Structure 1
Amino acid sequence: MKILTVITFCLIVVTSSAQDLKGKWFLTKEGDTYIVPENLIMEVKKDSIKYYSFDQFVFTQSAKIEEKKIKFENGDIRDFEFINQNSFKFISQKDKDSTNFEYVRLIPTKTNLQKEEIENLSFEFNWNGEKIKIKFKQEKGFEEISLEKIDSTYFASFYLLGKRAEVLPIKEITLDKMILYGTPGKPYEIVGEKIE
């Protein structure tokens, strides 16, 4: 009987922590999706949601979170559904044909490296059959990739003509590999191997 009680308690704790919406979330998007603010990061608090264009605060909206719904002060109600512990999709009740936006939780980047060490590494990723090379602080014509940080999360930030065009959070960085996450669709992350 004691074992059953302990197992039940553990399941309740795991379920409640997995369903916690509080924290910072990054909007995943397809390459051709246009969103304002760009590079949307949403910070969910007990009674409000703050919106950022990456690290620039845009506005706050009062909101109440109930079960799997968020009720905004303007009357809008959005349902959300967890995909896994660190991602969810968010849809409007008003328009059932609207796009389902997916978000990933910003988690601290796992690394033992200093920023300067990371910036001296190069990685190659294979994303949908396309090879992508990341070398920080190296300009290629009108493009540049920078290593940036919000709280404890590093990002690969892609600049075009001096303007931040796209960002991807970094899950883990070692001397041999880098894992980017927040990509649309499964597996929601891509692994890059170190290159010289």
Structure 2
Amino acid sequence: MKIFQVKFTTRLVFLFLGVFLLSSMASFAQSLEGKWNIAKMDTKRSRMIEFTKDSLIFYEFDKRHSATSYEVSDNRITVSDASIPINGTYEFVNAQRLRLKPDRAKRPIDFVRLKPTKTSLTKAEIENLNFTISYKNHPLTVNFDRVEEGSGKTTKLEKIDATYFLSFYQNDQRLGAIPIEQVTTEEISVYGFPEKPYVVTGELVSSNGNSTSANTASSQVDLNTTEAIIGKWFYKSIKGRTSLSNCTKKTFFQFTKDASLQIKPYAKNHSNGNCIAGDSLNGTYNLVTDDQIEVTQNGKTNVWKIQSLTNTKLVVERDGGVLTLIKK
């Protein structure tokens, strides 16, 4: 009787493992399915791929170019059409970013998964807005359908399925496109850059060319990071969290000219609604590069990554979170 129970239990274990492995493999394979846009800024073509259950489809932006069947084994992709140089390994940088390593390519190629753009605005309403985006402290002004005199460059708002794109043209030829994660009447977030930060948030620019956030007299330009970082910065938002309380927004980060940093946290006392001040965190900072701050506190050193910086707005990646701070 005991032998029978052991055998029965063993069979149940193997049956469970088999079901688990099969479901895991199916889930893993399905994670490839969908449309992916190439994460590259210097391409003269807008490459896009789509994985279905049995086909790999290639696009020139929204125009279907070719297709082939494919197989996945472990972390390797093999296509049936030998003329397509994509056979190789792959990995997920994160759930939304795929890195292909073709055998015949010198470097890996990153793609970002397309997802519906979050917005309550119509296409016409978005096109009436102007934005300034800063990637690695290089500003880009977005004026939809306005042709730059002399160069013939312009930015157009285009859409694939439920995803809006900033499409960059020169003399009516598309040079590239980057997907929009979210757009409101105040901000625009775009994603799919070739290097970190992968997501960048830009500000609305008024008709006179000035940024409308915090201090409308300051426009976004290529700033001297050393000078721009100095001052007292307050919470505006934390990515992934709901709107912050007025108490939390009193929290500040103060950078001084002598390279000292003070962080003063505030929180709301939910029992009486009062704001509670926490203990100050004092330390030092060092600008390693224009987009990296080395912060030392309590004997520990961490690197904060600057995603964008203006006279009045700082977006920084810190401890795995993305903070948007405004200077007052």
- Cα distance in 2, alignment partners of residues 17 and 137 from structure 1: 41
Q: Which residue of 2 aligns with 1:164?
A: 174
Q: Which segments of 5 or more consecutive residues in structure 2 lack a partner in the other structure? A: 1-19, 207-328
Correspondent of 1:185 among 184, 187, 195: 195
Match of 2:96 in 1: 86
Question: Deviation string for 1:30-56 (max 9, x for gaps)?
Answer: 42x56xxx2101011111111001011
Q: How far apart are residue 130 of structure 1 and its match? A: 1.4
Would you say the 8 A contact 2:68–2:81 is kept in 1?
no
Q: How many positions carry a matched residue from both structures?
A: 179
- Cα offsets for 1:75-108 (capped at 9, x unmatched): 6632100000000110123x4x721000100010
Contact kept, 8 Å, 1:41 with 1:54, in 2: the verdict is yes
User: Tell me, which stretches of 5 or more residues in structure 1 are unaligned?
Assistant: 1-8
Q: CA deviation at 1:16?
A: 3.7
Pair 1:120 & 2:128 matched: yes
SS at match of 1:98: coil
Rounded to whole Å, the distance in 2 between the matches of 1:17 and 1:160 is: 40
Instruction: Establish whether residue 22 from structure 1 lines up as the match of residue 10 from structure 2.
Output: no
Name the counterpart of 1:50.
57
Higher RCO (C-alpha under 8 Å, 6+ residues apart): 1
Q: Distance in 1 between matches of 2:125 and 2:41?
A: 31
Code of the aligned partner of 2:55 = S
Which position in structure 2 is the counterpart of 1:6?
Answer: none
1:25-174 superposed matches below 5 A: 25-31=36-42, 33=43, 38-74=45-81, 77-93=87-103, 95=104, 98-141=106-149, 142-174=152-184
With the length of structure 2 as denominator, give the TM-score of the two structures: 0.51
C-alpha contact (below 8 Å) 1:19/1:82 kept by paired residues:
no
Q: Partner letter of residue 177 of structure 1?
A: E
Of 58-67 and 17-26, more deviation after overlay is shown by: 17-26
Which residue pairs with 1:3 in the alignment?
A: none
**Could you tell me which residue of structure 2 aligns to residue 4 of structure 1?**
none
The alignment's C-alpha RMSD in Å is 2.2
Equivalent position SS for 2:126: helix
Whole-Å separation in 1 of the counterparts to 2:168 and 2:41: 15
- Cα–Cα, structure 1 residues 98 and 122, in superposed 2: closer, same or farther, change >3 Å? same
Distance 1:120 1:179 in 2: 17
Percent of matched pairs sharing the same residue: 34
